[in-house]
Amino acid sequence: MKILILYTFNKSFLSRFYEELAVSLVSFGYDVTVFSLKGQDNAFLRDNVHYVIKSKGNLLKCYHEIYYNIKQTKPDVIISNFSYVNPALLFGKLFRVKQNIAWIHTLTEQINPSKKQKFIKRHFLKLANLVIVNSEYLKQDLVAHFKVPPTKLKAIPFWATLDAFKKESLGQTSQNSHFKIGCPGRLVPDKNQDLIISALSKLDSNKNVTLYLAGEGPNKQYLKKRINMHKLEKQIVLLGGLSSDEMIGFYNDMDVIVLPSSHEAFGLVFIEAISQGVPVLVSSAFGALTFIDPNYVGLSDIVFDPKDSTSLKSKLENIINGKGRPNQYYIDLYNNHFSKDNIVHQFKDLLIL
65 with 109, same domain: the answer is: yes
Residues 127 and 180 in one domain: no
Whether residues 69 and 150 share a domain: the answer is: yes
pLDDT at residue 175, rounded to an integer:
45
85 and 71 in a common domain: yes
- Structural domain for 83, as ranges: 2-159+339-352
3-class DSSP state of 141:
helix
264: which residues sit within 8 A by CB, 6+ positions away? 107, 270, 283, 285, 286, 287, 288
pLDDT computed for residue 170 by the predictor: 58
Same domain, 141 and 272: no
How far, in Å, CA of 63 to CA of 74, rounded? Answer: 16
Split into its structural domains, the chain has a count of 2
pLDDT, tens digit (0-9, with 9 covering 90-100), for 208-260: 899 999 999 999 999 999 999 999 999 999 999 998 889 989 999 999 999 99
List, for residues 134-152, the tens digit of each pLDDT value: 999 999 999 999 999 999 9
DSSP 1-32: -EEEEE---SSSHHHHHHHHHHHHHHHTT-EE
Looking at the fold, whether 303 and 189 belong to one and the same domain comes out as yes
Residue 192 and residue 63 share a domain: no
Q: What is the pLDDT of residue 308?
A: 96
Query: pLDDT for 309-335, tens place per residue?
Result: 999 999 999 999 999 999 999 999 999
Residues 112 and 186 in one domain: no
Q: Mark whether 123 and 60 lie in a shared domain.
A: yes
DSSP 3-state assignment of 127? Answer: coil
Q: Are residues 185 and 137 in the same domain?
A: no
CATH code for the domain in which residue 210 is found: 3.40.50.2000
CA dihedral 87, 26, 15, 129 (to 10 degrees): 30
Does 243 lie in the same domain as 274? yes
Residues 32 and 154 reside in one and the same domain: yes
